[in-house]
Structure 1
Amino acid sequence: MTSTQPRPTTYTPPAKQDTGTDYQQVLEDLSTASVRRNFDPYIDIDWDAPHMAVIPNDPRWILSYKVDPIGRHPWYQSLPKEKQIKIGMWRQANVAKVGLQFESILIRGLMQYADRLPNGDKRFRYTTHEAKEECNHTLMFQELVNRIGMDTKGMRWWLRRASPIIPLFSTFWPTIFYFGVLAGEEPIDHIQKDFLRAREELHPAMSAVMELHVAEEARHISFAHNHLRNTVPRKGPITKFALSIAMPIVMRVLCSAIVVPPKDFEREFDVPKSVMKDIFWKSEQSQIFLSGVFGDVRMLAEQCGLMNPASRQVWRAMGIDGRSSRYRSEPTYNAS
């Protein structure tokens, strides 16, 4: 598969710093921010306000042409408005359910990771703060699913089955675990930010959930980036090479498992298999979307020394190569 975005000809690494000291300061800053600026979904979202009600045939549930891979496909665009709304409600409920399930895996992994940390390690405080925030996110996502009223299953079946095993990676292979964290957090965060930037007319319940989630997720993604930037460069050359190959594979596999709807979606709405293949990920637009999701992670791979000729070929083979972001959360389209 050819690159969907131009790759920079050169990459200039940041100036050498005392990364250990920087990392300790980042941990202090993130922990302090978690105390001073946090949210409770049952205090900060007025679920029972009249404007938050989920009512039949509300056009605000129609999927965005600009942002959602399903919403921009001609098959979806050709459907009657009523069916577009129903699909949109199902889709948003399923995305929320996926978010809940992913956060549940992350919480378990974070607590196992924290359990192995020595006394005085600043990672213990931050990871526990993050686990607490993720618990609130699971409450928020489930509340949204319940109010939409679509009985969706969330993740694809094999990932639901594997969910009790995945947290073990945080104990035995923590770097791979944090690759998995970013493979789940980056696509969801990317899509939600694109929705908010696009200024689409979202249902108030959806926009409230997205705004709260994006605000706290910024800390969580920042920790994962800083943690990997601090720990990966210290590993030996063989380990780093193996990680450079594993990173794009983890990103691609978990992204599809999280973003692609389960088979129930095809059965529920009679979606042709050719349409599903086109949306995920054969069409040119879908390839651009898939590549854009991982701009920040490609930047991180450069910073960690995990981009090399062999790993670049794996990124390309996975269909997720392209230009690295110049800065975190760089937009991938013009939202004006």
Structure 2
Amino acid sequence: MFKPRVMRNVKVIDLTHRMFGKLVNLPIYITATALGKLGHPEGEVVLTKAAGTKNIIQMMPTLASCSVAEMMDNALPGQEQWFQLYVNQDRVAVKKLLEKVESRGVRVLFVTVDAPSLGKREKDMRVKFVDDAPDESKHTELNRTQGAARAISTFIDPSLCWDDVSWFKANTKMKIVLKGIQCGEDAVLAAQHGCDGIVVSNHGGRQLDTCRSGIEVLPECIAALKEAGLRDKLQVFMDGGVRRGGDIFKALALGADAVGLGRPFLYGMASYGQQGVEKVIDILAEELTMTMRMCGVTNIKDIGPEYVLANNLNSHIGVAPKGYGFSNAYERMETIDSKL
């Protein structure tokens, strides 16, 4: 719940923010999502162009429909792009990929750590994968009977562990961020192993049913880092379920440095292409501006826990607005009426 303050001069609102030194127009980024061409013929390039126009950051996915070169060739001069990595069992292949993206100027690497195996995605499993595989998956035998996600993810290494952080640090100069932290203990371990950041995330709720959402885990991670004296060692991001500017404000208030969004940008891209993605960004900016004014805050860095009430966050008490996009994400299976 919000805890607004009133009678403050909120005429001028500043939404600009720095992430790993890069000044952007909003404290958000387009998080990595696979197979963009399922939604638009140009795929992830649409997200690249919209992010450049609006000066926000795009995280390029390992399992994109477009190549890294295609995405980066469509970026504006000085546009910041991050890279998300699914770790291949073949470390030689991983090293080559790191060298490729780093040579193109990528400064930040997001290593996905919450997918040692694929969750049971039943709707995806019922829709068979017929498109071309991303480059990362083309050297493996694809099982196209179990849906897109399972078909293209067989190369991912289930042995990835904390010892591998030192391998990454030895093989790239990019900043290392672990994507998929789900408890305070692992947030502390990430800092102790020398990572530059974490993403508090449950992989969009598609990996393990009944895991807590990012916004529920976030306060635990911040508290654990502060208790260990390590909060200033990490950039802390959060993703999952962010649909409104008010959601962004709440995440920032609970300690996130910035917020990642995936599905909203895919919806905008699939419906209206680049203009649709830009419109989503505009809506989020308008809503965040409104929320900041209503709460009496004029600058992103001043958003803190005093502006929200989160003591019942883990109890799931309260009535949330109806989310029609979410409720339609998983369709009921058709059943055959009994003739008995």
**Same structural fold, with TM-score higher than 0.5 when normalized by the shorter chain:** no
Higher relative contact order (CA 8 A, sep 6+): 1
Instruction: Please report the TM-score for the alignment, with normalisation by the length of structure 1.
Output: 0.30
> Per residue, is there more helix in 1 or in 2?
1
> Per residue, is there more strand in 1 or in 2?
2
